[in-house]
Structure formats: structure tokens, C-alpha cells
Structure 1
Amino acid sequence: MMPISAVRTSSSRLTPSNISPTMIPAKIANPPSTPSSTDKKLSFPSGTRTTRFLYMRCIVPHACSQKYGPWSIVREKITLMITYYYKTLRSEHVKELDEYKSGSWICATDPSQTELEYLIDTFKLDAGHLQDALDADEMPRLEQEGDLTYIFVRYAYTNEDLELSTAPLLFVVGPNIFLTLSLHSLPRLQRFLTGKVEFATTQRTKLVLLVLDQIVDQYEDFINNISRQIKVIRSRLKSHAVENQDFIDFVLIEDELNEFLSALLPTTAILRRIMLGRHIPLFEDDQNIVEDLLLNNEQSIEGCRSNVKSIVNIREAYSTIASNNLNRTMKILTAATMFIAIPNVFFGMFGMNVALPFAHEGWAYGFVMLITILATVCVFAWARSKKIF
């Protein structure tokens, strides 16, 4: 039976003020002669992360014992963060167990410190590695501690802001244990629970590889979605319909791709170490799965790099187009200024209130217009010859 330290209790310490009749559904008919605060009963309905009930026998404070009796069953509401899954090759469905059984998959999601201590004490695990798995910035790596192998990877998911992100996942693989520890529920865990992925919890090595395969597939799906988004923006570039928001999206997408790369590149090194067979035992089928994983992981890496390159090319192309359009506009404005300035020089000169030649001649105005037009044409021809515009 799972010890009390393996669950997260939602109620506080029992005192006379917080014990009510609704918390005490029944009295003990024959209490033991020697009181014990460790006598308990756990009832676990099915479900990965559901509200469950803890029935435990406790020593009730004196004030409460006078009202409810010295021994009562106290019901507390809890949320269990550690789940045991069990499936053999002959089993059709995955079983969720109330307590650990050899060959089970121990799935811990965002465990509390009490639950971590339970895992460490019960299964003799390294406390430092389990704490590292709860660090949101932990990078993929592989560690060997005795007969236990600790494999750190990062999986992709959509966060609360609907943005793509990655989070750490720890595998602990040993002769008698298979454990996964993560900050969030695995995005593709339901594929295992609903039978979409054929697996057996008793085949620990293959189960590690199957979970890794689902993680890599998740990366591929996200990368393909990003590729389609980039193509849509690139098609708008041809019609010059790209907006500032598109470039803001590019910045976010580029950050996501770089985060994917920082997770996928170390994963390749981990897969190569696994392929050596020194850390976890590999059979021939397992070897083929690792090779496929390496290939898919490399494809995901190349997909990330290709998308980053596409973003850079689009950004540079749009920058070049914008710069070219700006230069063209500046040339037009320069030409307009010049065509306005040249006539203004002549008309301004002859408009001054001073004595000028031909001031009293009738043809003087036409002569000034002719000089102005000739000067403008000459300047225009010179500018065209110099390819100013």
C-alpha cells in the first residue's frame, strides 16, 4: 500500500477548529488497544490526475474526542501526482494500479517535495537528478549511477500563452524500475493509454525508445506547422502585403526554432550513446528503433535550420525591397525638388526690385521662360547620364 508521503494533501493540520462532523463519516466500533497514527486506508479510482480520497486513522485532539469519540475515520481530499501503469505483451489494455508492482511504469507529474522524497526513499534514486528534472532550464544529458540510467530530454508542448515551448523530462531506467518525471503532463501520454501505441511496461528499453519516438514526432508536427506558416507569409511577400506583425511573428518563431534546436542537438548525442548499448540493454529491434530515432531527430534539426534560414532570407529580402523602394522614393523627391528649384532661381532673380537688363522689353518674359526650360532640360539630361534617377 502506498505510504502517506506519496500523496499531496489538500487539507491542513488537524485541529479542533478545522474538524467538522462532515469530515468524520463513521466511528470505529472496536478501536485498537494501542493507538497508532500510521493506520490508514487509501482508495484510488482510475484516472491519471484526479481528485482522490484518503481515509486514515488519527489521534483526534482532546476537545474533538469529547464530541466525536477518541477514534474516528477522518476523510481528507488529496491529489495524487504519481501514477502506476502496467501492461504486458499479452495485455490488451493498460492497467492503472493502486500501488507499485514490478514491471510498472511510474509516471510522476509535477511532484511535490514530499512525493520526491517518497520516490527517492522507496526506489533508492539520486535526489540531485530528480531535483534537476524539475528545473525548467535543464538540458538533455545522460547519466549513469550504479545500475540506474538517468536520461534527460526535452519535449515540445503548447504553454498557457498558446506559444510553443519545451520542458524537461527525466527517464530513470534500471533492472527493476522505469520512471518518468516531468513538470507537465506529457502531450502524447494518451496515445499510450488509449492503445494507439503498442507497448509493454515490462520492456523498459523499448518503452524509453517509444516515448522518445513520440517526443520526436511531436517536434516534427510543430516544425511542419511552422513551415506552413512561413510559406503563407512568403507568398504575401510577392504581393508586398507583408505587415509589421508578420515580422513580430518571425521573431517569436525564430525563438521557438532556436529553443527546439537547443533541445534536439543534445538529444542526438544521447541517442548515439544509447546505441552503444552500454547504458541500457539493446536488442536487435531496439537497435533499429534507435537508428530510426536518430534519422528522425536529424530531420527535425534540419527542418529547424531550414526554417530559420527561410526566415532570415525573407527578412533580408524584405529589407532589401524596402531599402530599394526608399531609394526610389528619395530619387523622385530629389528630382521634384530640383525641377522646382531651378525655375525658382530664375524667377526669383528677375523678380527682385532692382534694375535688370531687358526689363522694359516685351519679349523679356519669354526669354526668361526659355532659359529656365533649357536649364532644367540640361540638368535632367545630366542626371540621367549619371543614373541619378
Structure 2
Amino acid sequence: MITIYQKTVSEAEIKKIETLKNGSLLIVEDPKEEEISFLEKELSLEDKNLSDALDPYEVPRIESEDNIVYLFVRVPKQEKENIRTMPALIAIGGKYIAVISKEKISAFDKLMNGKIPFATTQKTRLTITLLSEITRNYRKLLTNITKQVRSVSTKIENIDNKAILAFVAQEEILNDFLAALIPMNVSLERLLNGRMITLYDEDKELTEDLVLDINQLIALSKATLKTIVNIREAYSTIITNNLNRVIKLLTSLTVILAVPTMIASFYGMNVNLPFADKPYAFAGILAVVTGVTALLLIVFGKKKWL
């Protein structure tokens, strides 16, 4: 589906238009073959780049061809508890900006609802605004993940299998974010040289701020990943330590119970044994068993095995 918008600096609201005009914004979602043909003919977009924009495994990058800048990004998308990134292409031509994606980009909802001021006729500023909205969504999701991780880190000893599985999912999300943000940052740094699109002083400052924001998101993602790894290692250490304590306890009890069991077994045999005919034999055996057991309890107690 292709939707064409236009909004000048003097206009208060964005409007949909039927035909392509100078300074238009095209939002292309899951384009059909005839729509792809329209983009190729009317906008002179390369077929390969359009195919790449719909490829779910496409990586962020920037390239320029025939005076058209192709900026590939990955946009965060949340579906209930599932968080992932999806590819999108921002094509910056001489008279338009086109955003092509396989699915609807919810990150641009505030923009399309008029909650964020912009003008489709200011291509460079609009490109920065689109990237800022993508970055804002990354920050929102990253902040939620970081809060969840920190809330678990305060009660490591009570972590269960559900929390471990959540950590695995969060690690996958964070790695996906890093794989999108790092090359996106490189693309923005290439934009700063002003060779691909013209940057005015204010645009350059906004782009530099955007680069700093993305660098912060990258650092936050790495820090959260490190926290998850530290929590898992700490949890593993605690589990191993608890297991060792249980093994020591069971070993101590086995040794302590083995001594009286062995002595009692000897005197349970139907053969002649020392002191078997003495009246104080039972008391003596009981005393020896008690003494050995007490000695073992003291030894294992000092070693903190009990």
C-alpha cells in the first residue's frame, strides 16, 4: 500500500494527496508488484534496493546511486511480549522521501498524528525526524528491559527457571538491537560529511545529537548485556556453592552413620567375637559408637561440612 503525504512549513496539519508532488512523503507498506513497478518508474528507485528493503534479514547501511540516497535501517517492533527489529528503507530523492517496509512502522504514529511538527518539503530535517522517532522507540524498549534486569538483580538468590528464560530472550533482543544500532550510527556519521545530502548548520547539530543518542543506546545495550551475564554467572556460582554444601552434608552424614552401622554389623554376625560373653559388652560397644560419632561430628563441624 502506498500513501502519499504532504505538509509545508506554513501548514498546520499533514494531508493525504492522490498524486506525487514536489516535497511529498511516501509511506509504502508491503508493496505489491504493481506498486513496486510504480516506485521504479515514478521515483527511479532501484529494484534491488526495493527487494532489500523487504528482506527480513537486511542489515542497516547507507548508499547513494543516481542522486538518490538509500538509508537502510532496522526499526524496533513490539508485539505483546515479543520484541524484534524489522528492516525499512528511507529513500531520499530530489523531490520526495519514501519510507518502504514490509510491515507498518508504529514508530511513526506520533509523526503521522501531528503530535510532532515537521514538513515534508524539508527533506533533510524530515529524515532526521524519522530517525529520531526510531531512536526514541529503541530508548523506550531498552529502558524497560534495563528496569526488568535491574529488578531481578536485587534478588539473585530467588531467581527461577522462568527468569533465566527471560534473560535468554532479553539477550537475544539486546544483540538484535546492537546489530541494528551500530551500523545505523555508522550511516549517520557518513551523513555528517555532507556528501550525500546537504546539511545546514542546524541539521548538522541535530544529526550530531542523534549520533550521541545512538551511542548512548549502544552503551546502554552493552551495559545491560553485561549485567545479564554477571547475574547468570552469580546465579551459577550460588547454585554450584549450594550443591557443594549439600554434597558435603550428605557425605558427612554417610561417614557418620557408616561407623556405627559397621560396628553393629560385626556384632550381629553369628560367630564368636571379643567380649561377646561379657555383661558390659553392649554398654562398651555403645560407648565406642557414641565416642566415634561424637568425634566425627566435631571434625566435620570444624570443617563446616555440617
Measure the CA separation in 1 of the matches of 2:297 and 2:174: 51
What secondary structure, in the 3-state scheme, does the structure 2 residue paired with 1:164 have?
strand
The reply on whether 1:329 has 2:246 as its aligned counterpart is yes
Q: State the AA in 2 paired with 1:298.
A: N
- In structure 1, the residue matched to 2:72 is 152
What secondary structure, in the 3-state scheme, does the structure 1 residue paired with 2:154 have?
helix
Map 1:128-277 to 2 at 5 A: 128-159=48-79, 162-237=81-156, 240-277=157-194
The reply on whether 1:343 has 2:260 as its aligned counterpart is yes
What secondary structure, in the 3-state scheme, does the structure 1 residue paired with 2:118 have?
coil
- In structure 2, the residue matched to 1:82 is 2
Offset of residue 387 of structure 1: 5.7
The TM-score normalised by the length of structure 1 is: 0.76
Offset of residue 197 of structure 1: 1.1
Q: State the AA in 2 paired with 1:174.
A: G
Does structure 1 conserve the Cα–Cα contact (< 8 Å) formed by 2:182 and 2:218? yes
Measure the CA separation in 2 of the matches of 1:361 and 1:163: 79
Q: State the AA in 1 paired with 2:23.
A: G
Match of 1:370 among 281, 287, 304: 287
Map 1:369-388 to 2 at 5 A: 369-384=286-301
Map 1:28-47 to 2 at 5 A: none
- In structure 2, the residue matched to 1:21 is none
Q: Deviations over 1:132-186 (max 9, x none)?
A: 1000110000111021111101110114x64000011111112222111011111
Measure the CA separation in 1 of the matches of 2:95 and 2:10: 20
- In structure 1, the residue matched to 2:29 is 109
Match of 1:307 among 199, 224, 235: 224
Measure the CA separation in 1 of the matches of 2:152 and 2:139: 20
What secondary structure, in the 3-state scheme, does the structure 2 residue paired with 1:171 have?
strand
What is the RMSD of the two structures over their aligned residues, measured on CA atoms? 1.4
Q: State the AA in 1 paired with 2:2.
A: I
Offset of residue 118 of structure 1: 1.1
Q: Deviations over 1:246-284 (max 9, x none)?
A: 111111111011000000010110010001100111001
What secondary structure, in the 3-state scheme, does the structure 2 residue paired with 1:96 have?
strand
Q: State the AA in 1 paired with 2:203.
A: D
Measure the CA separation in 2 of the matches of 1:263 and 1:120: 27
The TM-score normalised by the length of structure 2 is: 0.96
Measure the CA separation in 2 of the matches of 1:292 and 1:185: 27
Query: Aligned residues, how many?
Result: 306
Offset of residue 203 of structure 1: 0.5
- In structure 2, the residue matched to 1:37 is none
Which structure: larger Rg?
A: 1
Q: State the AA in 2 paired with 1:225.
A: N
Map 1:114-129 to 2 at 5 A: 114-129=34-49
Measure the CA separation in 2 of the matches of 1:289 and 1:169: 21
- In structure 2, the residue matched to 1:52 is none
Measure the CA separation in 2 of the matches of 1:308 and 1:352: 65
Offset of residue 231 of structure 1: 2.1
- In structure 2, the residue matched to 1:55 is none
Offset of residue 219 of structure 1: 0.2
Measure the CA separation in 1 of the matches of 2:81 and 2:102: 17
What secondary structure, in the 3-state scheme, does the structure 2 residue paired with 1:362 have?
coil
Q: State the AA in 2 paired with 1:231.
A: R
Measure the CA separation in 2 of the matches of 1:83 and 1:381: 83
From the two aligned structures, give the one with the greater helix fraction.
Answer: 2
Does structure 1 conserve the Cα–Cα contact (< 8 Å) formed by 2:77 and 2:85? yes
Q: State the AA in 1 paired with 2:221.
A: C
Offset of residue 377 of structure 1: 3.1
Percent identity of equivalent pairs: 35
Measure the CA separation in 2 of the matches of 1:379 and 1:246: 41
Offset of residue 106 of structure 1: 1.2
- In structure 2, the residue matched to 1:360 is 277
Measure the CA separation in 2 of the matches of 1:358 and 1:241: 56
What secondary structure, in the 3-state scheme, does the structure 1 residue paired with 2:84 have?
strand
Measure the CA separation in 1 of the matches of 2:200 and 2:186: 20
Measure the CA separation in 2 of the matches of 1:123 and 1:356: 106
Q: 1:114 to 1:388 in 2, by over 3 A?
A: same
